[in-house]
Amino acid sequence: MNDMTENPFAGTLPAQSRQAGAVAQSDQQRTIAEVHAAMTIARMNPRDPIAAMDRILNACTRPSLADAAVYTYAKGGTDVSGPSIRLAEAMAQQWGNIKTSVRELSQQNGMSEVQTIAWDLETGYQCDKVFHVPHIRHTKKGAYPLTDPRDIYELVANQGSRRLRACILAVIPGDVTEAAVAQCEVTMRTKADTSAEAMQKMLTAFEPFGVTKEQIEKRIQRHIDAIQPAQVVSLKKIYASLRDGMSAPGDWFDGEAEGTALAAGPKSKSKPAETTQAATETKAADPETKQPAGETKPQENGNGTKPASDAQIRFMKSKAESATIGESDILKRFGLETLDGITQAQLADIMAFIANPMGA
End-to-end Cα separation, the chain, in angstroms: 80
Which DSSP string do the residues of 126-193 spell out, in sequence order?
Answer: EEEEEEEEESEEEETTEEEE---HHHHHHHHHHHHHHHHHHHHHHHS-HHHHHHHHHHHHHHHHHT--
Per-residue confidence (pLDDT) for residue 257, from 0 to 100? 44
Given its phi and psi angles, is residue 48 left (phi above 0), alpha (psi -120 to 50 degrees) or beta?
A: beta
Going from N- to C-terminal start, the domains of the chain cover 36-181, 192-261
Per-residue confidence (pLDDT) for residue 174, from 0 to 100? 93
Per-residue confidence (pLDDT) for residue 135, from 0 to 100? 93
Alpha-carbon 131 to chain mean position: 20
pLDDT in tens, the chain (360 residues): 566 777 666 655 565 555 666 666 777 888 888 888 888 898 899 999 999 999 999 999 998 898 888 877 766 667 777 888 889 999 999 999 999 999 999 999 999 999 999 999 999 899 999 999 999 987 767 788 888 888 899 889 988 988 999 999 999 999 999 999 999 988 888 878 888 888 888 898 888 888 899 999 888 888 888 888 878 888 888 887 787 767 778 888 876 444 434 433 444 334 444 444 444 444 444 444 444 444 433 333 445 578 887 777 877 777 777 666 778 778 888 888 888 778 888 888 888 777 766 554
Phi first, then psi, for residue 215 (nearest 5°) are: -70, -35
Per-residue confidence (pLDDT) for residue 180, from 0 to 100? 94
